[in-house]
Structure 1
Amino acid sequence: MLCCFFAQASQGQALAPPLGTATGFALFTAAGAFNNSGPTVVQGNIGTQVGAFSGFPQGTVTGSINVANTYAGQVATDVATAYTYLTTSVPCGTTAISTLGGSPAQTLLPGVYCLGGAQTLTDQLILDGGGKANAVFIFKLGGALTTADLSTITLINGANADNVYWQIGGRVDLGANSVFRGTIVADGAINLISGAALLGRGLSIAGAISLDTNIVTGPLVEAPLPVTLVTFSATKQGRAVLLQWSTASESHTQDFTPERSTTGTTGWEPVGTLPAAGSSSTLRQYRMADNGERHQACYYRLRSTDTDGTFSFSPVRFVAFDDTAAPLAAFPNPAANFVVVTGAAPGSTLTLVNMAGKIWQQPSATENGVNYLEVRNILPGTYLLKAVSATGEVTSTKLVKE
């Protein structure tokens, strides 16, 4: 039976599934391979309990990578618990829907929506929170979910991706250059086709996870396990770079490896390795110099490795040489549906201008500290993305709309 109901805020809060240790994960499968191709960017922890793992560091992750370790075992248990909870403890409502998305856009209010069999999400789905910050949306599908190329889930009036859940009884395929929001808990593979963006989580009890030049913005992970990282800095010292970091606590930490890249997404190489304290609850300071001759900008990140093989990355730091400034960038470029904007100074005003000087859009959407610019409704062509800082400094980069 196809059904749904509009839950009150208090009911919606009770319906949200317990994620346990999976809360901090952007992507995880309990049993399946985990692979990536292209410069995928992931915010949040990732991993697999049973299966091969590949594609990182070609991809970039801010968070820990967990493959068949103790932590992954617990996450696998918690994902299974969440799936069972959604299956047995969340009842369907009374108002039926038979499709997801559409043109004109389909708009839904908070509640539980049950759909039997496989489904395809087309065009645009709008989730309207009705002004309630804790409004919960739960979608229960009896089969696979496919989202069409360029399709979009949009949140309005207080709706939050952290309160949107998708229980999928099969495979999930997110279409090329689509934008999907919410936490997926699936019994099947999760496949992000080229350019797809997932703003939430992708968790599977059984099935491979496949990525291809994607943006995945899960929980913000500034200090991933097993290390509580207090600071990590990269400071230019002549033609060298001084790397310094400090930890407030360490738990079975094996070593630290600073890494550098000229792009910030690919080509990471180790600078060196320092042994960690192992286990510590006091403030500890570390430092290392990168003495290689530099003629261009460099990005740095810190890799922390645990004794059981778990490793995680710090936020990325940028060092400019020859008066190079941190570049303004948009990814993916060319873009069909959306771009992520990086390199703008805090508080900058962003504008998108065509070659005739007409302002087409002023992006302002920010989720988990990441700037997103929707471009699906502008005409194809070449544009100038401009960032004006609070002090009036202007930086720009070219953006091509497909």
Structure 2
Amino acid sequence: MKKRSRKKMLSLLLTLALFAVNGTAQLTMAAEAEVKTGTTENFAILSGETITNTGTTEVMGDVGIHPGIEVVGLSEDMVTGAMHLADEVALAAKNDLVIAYDDAAGRTPQIISRELAGQTLTPGVYTSNEKDFLLTGKLILDGEGDPDAVFIFQTDTTLTTGSGSSVEFAGNATACGVFWKVGSSATLGSNSSFAGSILALTSITLETGATVNGRLLARNGSVVLDSNVITSGPCTQNQSATLHVIKMVVNRNGRTAVSEDFSVHVLKDGLDVSGSPDAGMETPGRTYTLEAGNYVVTEEPVEGYEASFSGDSTDGKVTLSPGEEKTVIITNTSSAGSIDLFKTDEKGNPLSGAEFTLYREDVEVGEPMSTDENGNITFTGLAKGTYKLKETKAPEGYVLSEVAEEIILTQDEEIVEISFTNTMILGRISIVKVDGKTGAALSGAEFRITDGKGTEVFQGETDDEGMVTAELPYGDYTVQEMKAPENYEKSEKTYAVSIVEDGQIIDLEVENTKMEKKAATLPDAGDTSGNIFLLLGGLALTGGLLLWRKRSAA
């Protein structure tokens, strides 16, 4: 009996275990039922109090309000559907909204982090311990291959999304299956991309540029808009959209670029879509088949051309709704600004051969250029912006300018004139005259300096310290002694020197040899010229004595 009882007990436990396993499997596999929204299905916006809009907003779907009647700033031409202001249709939709709200609030949730950014969620019902939700980045909803997947988010207080945040889909999930039950109010940040139906007890606010792929349903409060795009309607969110990108080029100042010279990018979340980048193309342009979402059209810059956007975008940013077709035109116009540079010396004479480099944001603009015989350079084809002009090579014989001149072009085709002055390189030749034996300084020595053409450029005499100095510009020179000090022999040596740097000093020491004194000597015996002079002197003396005696006797 005991053995039989044990067998029955084991059998019962096995049966319960199998039931538990099968039951758990059925619970896990059971899909969350859709929230029935009734006649709100046709509404992109439904408000209980007021609807206020600033800027240009696009609404694809119906707009309704009940019991309020005030709609400010949202005209009929901004709405593709009908506008129901406190009529029976709006009342019926409000009643259906109450039912849908209560349905979403009554589901059993699982708890997740209040910050949704960075999460990838599968179908289910979610809430947070804080009873609110934040989204400051990207949230991915993965339908796991089920196009009817349902996601329900419950808050007792608020739903807040940050600027540039987004809700994105994977695994065939669609905005039609996403429901946000908000216990008070929802606020969507600027330029955010949101998806799903917001069922708010109070109000819904969209900041500038926010887009919604879904519905804004506020039971008791207001809906506030600011240059937004709201896309609603039948569940067609997985339909593709079409984007045409056309490249146009306007050439001026002899420029010859064509559309194919520009590389165009179509980006989603900072990454190139399929087929991007590609060379630009004129009308009809390049066509991209894309999922609904936010995109940026941009290009790789080409020096000397400025880009502008037109068509369905003025800045390259474009939002594509399911089934939508848009065109972005990029027009590149060759820049026409110019900088005229004039290079002179200190006397205003033009200098050729000065090399200048132009920079924009510390990047060289084109190749360095050199001044012509008129001292002129013209940088052309410049876009508006801030530039720096710097001399990178001075003319021969001049000091390099260290000035980096800032130039701002504020208008198209603006011409800015600027001048640079170079200072001539100056050096000094210092000559010291000394006795070759004693090293004593010698004054009175005259020196002459000639340039490379043989032209005299300096002449001077050493002072009491034996020095004479000449300040001369860049060049090659020859130094030569022209007159020696008294009682010294003149040096026949010449000195070739060159001044190549500003402030250069060339020291020359020139030695002189003192002349030797000669002793007195008698005439040679064979030299008769001396005897003749002696004879004549003797005759003159004798004659003088005779004359003196004769006068004395008388």
Structure-1 residue corresponding to 2:109: 92
- CA shift, 1:187, in A, is 0.8
Of 24, 33, 40, which aligns to 2:57?
40
CA contact (8 A) 2:55 2:227 kept: yes
Matched residue SS, 1:62: coil
Runs (4+) of structure 1 moved beyond 4 Å? 6-10, 346-349, 351-356, 376-387
Question: Where does residue 191 of structure 2 map in the other structure?
Answer: 177
**Identity percentage of aligned residues:** 30
Does residue 138 of structure 1 match 2:32?
Answer: no
2:71 aligned counterpart, secondary structure: coil
In the alignment, is residue 110 of structure 1 matched against residue 130 of structure 2? Answer: no
Alignment correspondent of 2:43: 25
- Rounded to whole Å, the distance in 2 between the matches of 1:192 and 1:7 is 38
Q: Report if aligned partners of 1:27, 1:203 keep a CA contact under 8 Å in 2.
A: yes
Extract unaligned runs of 5+ from structure 2. Answer: 1-25, 249-258, 267-272, 274-287, 313-325, 333-554
Taking structure 1 as the reference length, the TM-score comes to 0.56
> Structure 1 residues 7 and 378 mapped into 2: Cα distance closer, same or farther (>3 Å)?
farther
Indicate how the Cα distance of structure 1 residues 199 and 382 shifts in structure 2: closer, same or farther if over 3 A, else same.
farther
SS in 2 for 1:159: coil
8 Å CA contact 1:35–1:209 kept in 2: the answer is yes
Q: Distance in 1 between matches of 2:92 and 2:307?
A: 48
AA matched with 1:397? I
2:212 aligned counterpart, secondary structure: strand
**Are residues 1:120 and 2:134 paired?**
yes
CA contact (8 A) 2:51 2:223 kept: yes
| Counterpart in the other structure of 1:156 | 170
> What corresponds to 1:233 in structure 2?
none
SS state of the match for residue 100, structure 2?
Answer: helix
Q: State the SS of the aligned residue for 2:40.
A: helix
Cα shift readout 1:25-79 (whole Å, capped 9, x = no counterpart): 11102x2111112110000111110221222327610111011111111111000
Q: Distance in 2 between matches of 1:83 and 1:155?
A: 23
2: CA distance between counterparts of 1:395 and 1:78? 39
Distance, in Å, in 1 between the alignment partners of 2:58 and 2:247 is 26
Alpha-carbon distance, 1:9 to partner = 6.7
- 1:359, distance to aligned residue in structure 2 (A): 3.2
Tell me what 2:526 maps to: none
1:256-295 aligned at under 5 Å gives the runs none
SS at match of 1:22: helix
1 or 2, which has the higher helix percentage?
Answer: 2
Q: 1:258 — aligned with what?
A: none
Secondary structure of the equivalent of 2:98? Answer: helix
Given the alignment of the two structures, is residue 73 of structure 1 paired with residue 94 of structure 2, yes or no?
no
List per-residue Cα deviations over 1:69-108 (Å, max 9, x = no partner).
11111111000111111112x1113xx3113333xx3211
Distance (whole Å) between structure 2 residues aligned to residue 42 and residue 195 of structure 1: 13
1:191 positional shift:
0.6
Pairwise mapping of residues 192-203 of structure 1 onto structure 2 (< 5 A)? 192-203=206-217
* Alignment partner of 1:350 is 2:363: no
Counterpart of 1:186? Answer: 200
Query: What value does the CA root-mean-square deviation take over the aligned residues?
Result: 3.5
Give the aligned residue type for 1:100. Answer: E
Distance 1:149 1:71, change over 3 A: same
Report whether the alignment pairs 1:147 with 2:165.
no
1:350–1:385 Cα contact (<8 Å) kept: no
Q: Separation in 2 of the partners of 1:347 and 1:86?
A: 31
CA distance in 2, matches of 1:172, 1:193: 11
The change in CA–CA distance for 1:26 and 1:216 in structure 2 (over 3 A counts) is same
Tell me the SS of whatever aligns to 1:375. Answer: strand
Name the CA distance, whole Å, in 1 between partners of 2:55 and 2:76.
Answer: 6
Deviations 1:118-157 (A, max 9, x none): 3321111111111111111111112111110000111112
Retained in 1: the 8 A contact 2:167–2:194?
Answer: yes
Q: Which residue of 2 aligns with 1:336?
A: none
TM-score calculated relative to the size of structure 2: 0.41
Q: Tell me if the contact between 1:351 and 1:386 (Cα under 8 Å) persists in the aligned partners.
A: no
The answer to whether the Cα contact below 8 Å between 1:200 and 1:216 also exists between their aligned partners in 2 is yes
Deviations 1:165-201 (A, max 9, x none): 1101111111000000001101121011110001101
Aligned match of 2:284: none
Amino acid at match of 1:113: Y
Q: Distance in 2 between matches of 1:40 and 1:399?
A: 26
Following superposition, the deviation at residue 396 of structure 1 comes to 4.7
Structure label with greater radius of gyration: 2
Q: How has the CA–CA distance of structure 1 residues 86 and 373 changed in structure 2, closer, same or farther, with 3 Å as cutoff?
A: closer
Q: Distance in 2 between matches of 1:379 and 1:8?
A: 50
User: What residue in structure 1 maps to residue 528 of structure 2?
Assistant: none
Structure 1 residue identity aligned to 2:290: A
Q: Distance in 1 between matches of 2:219 and 2:242?
A: 42
Looking at structure 1, the residues matched to 165 and 221 of structure 2 have their Cα atoms a distance apart, in angstroms, of 23
Aligned length: 253
Q: Which has the higher strand share?
A: 1
